[in-house]
Amino acid sequence: MARVLLFGRLADIAGWRERVVDGASLADIRTALSADPDLAEALSGKGVQVAVDKAIVRGEAALTATSEVAFMPPMSGG
């Protein structure tokens, strides 16, 4: 289980910014989110980064019940 956050255009595409999703790994979370094909495509797009508990991760990560997973599209600067 993880609290999933979407930023930027990802939230617009999904129609939500924060949701609790079942899963013990990032792969589980991606599978659960792929119920929305538009979101799945956007999440696999170029430059999308993932953070677990506010630290950017590359590849797989194990999650706990209190993990916060963020999907971040390319950063625009301020």
Instruction: Give the binding site for other proteins (CB under 8 A).
Output: 5, 7-9, 51, 54-56, 70, 72-78
Distances (CA, A) of 52 to 30, 38, 68: 13, 22, 6
Q: In the complex with other proteins, which residue's Cβ is closer, 59 or 77?
A: 77
Q: In the complex with other proteins, which residue's Cβ is closer, 35 or 55?
A: 55
Q: In the complex with other proteins, which residue's Cβ is closer, 54 or 60?
A: 54
63: Cβ contacts below 8 Å, ≥ 6 apart? 1, 2, 23, 24, 25, 26, 28, 29, 52, 69
| Nearest-approach distance from CB 51 to other proteins, in angstroms | 6
